[in-house]
Amino acid sequence: MSRQLHAFPGGLQIPTCKEISGKDISILHPLPERLIMPLQQHIGIPSLPVVAVGEKVLKGQVIARASGYVSVPMHASTSGRIIDIGDYPVPHPSELKAPCIVIESDGEDKLFDIRPTREYASVDPKKLQAVIRECGIIGLGGAGFPAHVKLNEGVENAVDTLIINGVECEPYITCDDRLIQEKADYVVAGTRMIRHAVQAKHCVIAVEDDMPAAFAALEKRIDDDIELIQVPTRYPAGGEKQLIQVLTGREVPSGGLPIEIGIVMHNVATAAAVYRAVTRGEPVISRYVTVTGMVEKPRNLQVLLGTTVKDCISACHIETDENYRVILGGPMMGMHVTNPDVPVIKTTNCILVQKNKAPTPEMPCIRCAKCVDACPVNLLPQQLYWYAKADDMEATQSHHIFDCIECGCCSYVCPSNIPLVQYYRYAKSQIAAAERRRNGADHAKARFLARNQRLDREERKKQQDKEKQVSKKESLDKQAYIAAAVERTRARRSKQKNRSVPGMDDKDA
């Protein structure tokens, strides 16, 4: 099908390095002895454990429930016993430990009683969303946003176009490419299910033009109901806002969401997960992960969630040591982890092993504006850098720091080796912390005011009660005084009567 494509500003033509891991079929990673399941694997509120230490669980059983609207449940990746619920190293830039459920595998991989949803097309879209949520589906492209939230936006608002994103623009990563080649029927069927769930008028699946095998696999399975589009290979064409611009020529407003212009976007892996959830009742307990870089056998693995990064690297024939550094994600947006015992989680798309290099020294900004030309969001990266460095958070916000997608194009081209993205992350975290403090202070202020109001109310009530008591007493006193006066009058009259002469009354009468 022909669709007019558009360009997005900036971006880079960089070596893709995809041939390293993308050519071989994926393999199933062996069942590990122990699986570490972090309670926070998605954007939003962490899941809450519903199992206890010592309890036996089956594969696919819920082990933690969703704890709010922007939250999803978590399921056991295999059958076994819960051996701990506690803090373990997790994939996070802070490298801090976080709460996890640890399963000791019993080696049987025995499945929980899971139920498929038949005839999805006749199911109410809201019910389909609930199935997707119950199966713990989040944005598997790396964003990690609970899928049902985006689907709900779709039901609440009119959706013109559903875009299924197969544009894997980060260098080295090939897990979506392999998934499409190996499970194209899942991707296409899942796309139709998501379309039903959001009631979209149009539907597009997009891949890059350097993914010919994936394109061919999809082409065989689609019909006239889905447009299949190849977009030019240019980083970061797979970014949500950039892909929307390429496919529709429309821009998502600053700070806005795609739904504001009638668009919903999901990743190809999310579509495949939806297919599994709806037709088989299968929750998200495994994913494709690219293991690449300085490993002997770079490839894509089908990995159970909770498997350690170290296990995945060993499966590709290399032992981690201080000569290597491990990046989760791609070289542009990925996160460096020093502890290879962190587990694979729902958003882990790539494990990149690179030779450890001494960091290049940062030099002063020479105002060359290369970063401005490379920015795909039309920001002023060097200005943001100055403001972040000067701790002027207000200025970073007025220069739209939250529109920065942390794509790293600016850092990549900077001749002064300034780690610009690190400055933006610092600024964003400072603003978020200030916001939390402000919310905390507002909360404390609100509690203080509420307490004062309550004390005022109580004081007023006490005063009113006292006044009532006084007035009641006064009223009783008055009544008693009147009664006493009446009694006295009565007594006086009776006395006078008794003193009067006998027969006198008769005479008077």
Residues binding ligand SF4 (CB under 6 A): 365-371, 374-377, 379, 381-382, 385, 404-410, 413-416, 418, 420-421, 424
Minimum CB separation of residue 390 from ligand SF4 in Å reads 14
Query: Which one, 417 or 489, has the nearer CB to ligand SF4?
Result: 417
List 230's β-bridge partners, or say none. Answer: 207
Query: Which one, 203 or 418, has the nearer CB to ligand SF4?
Result: 418
Query: Which one, 314 or 383, has the nearer CB to ligand SF4?
Result: 383
The residues near 138 (Cβ < 8 Å, ≥ 6 apart) are 41, 42, 43, 72, 144, 145, 146, 147, 270, 284, 346, 347
Query: Which one, 236 or 306, has the nearer CB to ligand SF4?
Result: 236
Alpha-carbon distance of 33 to 308, in angstroms, equals: 11
Are the C-beta atoms of residues 63 and 50 closer than 8 Å to each other?
yes
Minimum CB separation of residue 369 from ligand SF4 in Å reads 5
Give the number of other CB atoms < 10 A from CB of residue 1.
Answer: 9
- Nearest by Cα to 181 from 140, 141, 225, 213: 213
Alpha-carbon distance of 246 to 221, in angstroms, equals: 24
Minimum CB separation of residue 140 from ligand SF4 in Å reads 22
Query: Which one, 175 or 420, has the nearer CB to ligand SF4?
Result: 420
Are the C-beta atoms of residues 37 and 266 closer than 8 Å to each other?
no
Minimum CB separation of residue 399 from ligand SF4 in Å reads 10
List 235's β-bridge partners, or say none. Answer: 12
Query: Which one, 361 or 502, has the nearer CB to ligand SF4?
Result: 361
Alpha-carbon distance of 40 to 71, in angstroms, equals: 9
Minimum CB separation of residue 217 from ligand SF4 in Å reads 31
Query: Which one, 12 or 36, has the nearer CB to ligand SF4?
Result: 12
List 57's β-bridge partners, or say none. Answer: 80
Alpha-carbon distance of 75 to 284, in angstroms, equals: 7
- What's 318-348 look like in SS3? CCCCCCEEEEECCCCCCEEECCCCCECCCCC
> If DSSP codes are grouped into helix, strand and coil, which group holds residue 135?
coil
- What's 13-68 look like in SS3? CCCCCCHHHHCCCCEECCCCCEEEEECCCCCCCCCEECCCCCCEECECCEEEECCC
Minimum CB separation of residue 9 from ligand SF4 in Å reads 10
State which amino acid sits at residue 202. H
Query: Which one, 117 or 383, has the nearer CB to ligand SF4?
Result: 383
Query: Which one, 247 or 418, has the nearer CB to ligand SF4?
Result: 418
State which amino acid sits at residue 316. C
Minimum CB separation of residue 279 from ligand SF4 in Å reads 38
Minimum CB separation of residue 43 from ligand SF4 in Å reads 19
Query: Which one, 184 or 409, has the nearer CB to ligand SF4?
Result: 409
Helices (H), 157-226: 175-198, 212-221
Minimum CB separation of residue 381 from ligand SF4 in Å reads 4
CB-based burial label for 334 (10 Å; 0-12, 13-18, 19+): buried
Minimum CB separation of residue 11 from ligand SF4 in Å reads 9
**Torsion angle, CA of 448/449/451/452, rounded to 10 degrees?**
120
Query: Which one, 309 or 377, has the nearer CB to ligand SF4?
Result: 377
Query: Which one, 190 or 408, has the nearer CB to ligand SF4?
Result: 408
Are the C-beta atoms of residues 209 and 305 closer than 8 Å to each other?
no
Give the number of other CB atoms < 10 A from CB of residue 20.
Answer: 18
- Nearest by Cα to 379 from 422, 421, 333: 421
Minimum CB separation of residue 425 from ligand SF4 in Å reads 9
Minimum CB separation of residue 14 from ligand SF4 in Å reads 13
